[in-house]
Amino acid sequence: MSNGQKIFYGLSFFAAVFCSYSADAACMISSVIAKPYKDDYVKLGQNDRALKIAVHWAMLKNDQFCYDLDTWYAIADAYRHILDDAAQDLAMTIYAVLVSSQFVSVQVKSDSFRCLSQCNKRSNDLNKVFSYAKAAEAFGAKTATFGKTLRYLGDLYLFYLHDNVKAINYYKSSLIWCRENKIKKWEIEALIGLGNARYTDSKHLVYAQWYLEALKGLGVDGDEHLRAQALIGLGNAEYTDDKHSDYASWYLEALDVAGADGDLDLSPQALMSLGNFCRKKKW
């Protein structure tokens, strides 16, 4: 442990204890000391008791929660990506405070609602998942992440409620927003979403064309996670061309991409799809 981290632990614990006497001072101290170390939250892990105590106490009262809210959002986001119930609960606690605080910007509030929706997926509480997502939409119309929220809602309607009509509308709205705001990555996500929803129009006579458009948009140096998604989509669409005589080759290509990128989510998906292909062919 570096000297900086030792100081961080010590001051975090001091902030937590001191908060018993002054929530205002503890919030200010925790906010200041957190700033240089926000990239280390995941590394510190979910068992860092001193940090947890400091965060909980520093957020005890909403009326004191007015110091460096971006830092608190970064803390919550870091804990949300730790696959541990305690870490997820802590992230949800922070997001809940953020959405209820009068000092929070519309941007942070909308993003926090979307993250609360994502966190509640693990409990399969669809009422909360959708209510938080809709709150993110309601607050997010004028935010810089609105296109991401629209695409997220598309995913929810497609994969959880199997409502293709609503999913397609959200993906189309996201695509328009992303193109207007020139955010390429989210545009690609919306294209893949339209492919997953099997949407066709006058320019896309088969839904595989959405995946092809996504791959074209990614180019050579695009996001490998999105590339693997598009490749799996082409396999699922049973699309073939001059270089892919059978659609299994899309899955193999996706495995190469996902494996090189260390993508633990998409590698099993590609393998399952490949297994289904082999079963259909009776190999």
Residue 253 lies in a domain: no
Residue 54 lies in a domain: yes
Q: What is the pLDDT of residues 152-178, one digit of tens each?
A: 999 999 999 999 999 999 999 999 999
Range of the domain at 135: 1-143
Residue 168 lies in a domain: no
Q: Please state which of the ranges 8-22, 107-121, 238-252 shows the lowest mean pLDDT.
A: 8-22
Residue 234 lies in a domain: no
Tell me the pLDDT band of 187, cut-offs 50, 70 and 90: very high
Total domain count for the chain? 1
Q: Residue 278 above 90 pLDDT?
A: no
DSSP classification of residue 192: H
Give the residue, 273 or 183, on which the prediction is more confident.
183
Residue 211 lies in a domain: no
Q: How many CA atoms lie within 13 A of 281 on its CB side?
A: 11
Residue 42 lies in a domain: yes
Tell me how far apart the alpha carbons of residues 116 and 113 are, in angstroms, rounded to a whole number. 5
Residue 247 lies in a domain: no
Tell me how far apart the alpha carbons of residues 204 and 168 are, in angstroms, rounded to a whole number. 14
Tell me how far apart the alpha carbons of residues 119 and 122 are, in angstroms, rounded to a whole number. 6
Judge contact between 114 and 88, C-beta under 8 A.
Answer: no
CATH code at position 65: 1.25.40
Tell me how far apart the alpha carbons of residues 115 and 74 are, in angstroms, rounded to a whole number. 12
pLDDT at 221: 86
Residue 108 lies in a domain: yes
The CB density around residue 180, as the number of other CB atoms within 10 Å, is 10
Judge contact between 114 and 156, C-beta under 8 A.
Answer: no
Backbone angles phi, psi at 21, to 5 degrees: -105, -30
Judge contact between 223 and 231, C-beta under 8 A.
Answer: no
Q: What is the pLDDT of residues 29-75, one digit of tens each?
A: 344 444 444 444 444 444 454 455 455 545 544 444 445 677 778 87
Tell me the pLDDT band of 14, cut-offs 50, 70 and 90: very low
pLDDT at 143: 97
Q: Hunting for tokens 């328009």 — which residue is that?
A: 176
Tell me how far apart the alpha carbons of residues 232 and 161 are, in angstroms, rounded to a whole number. 22
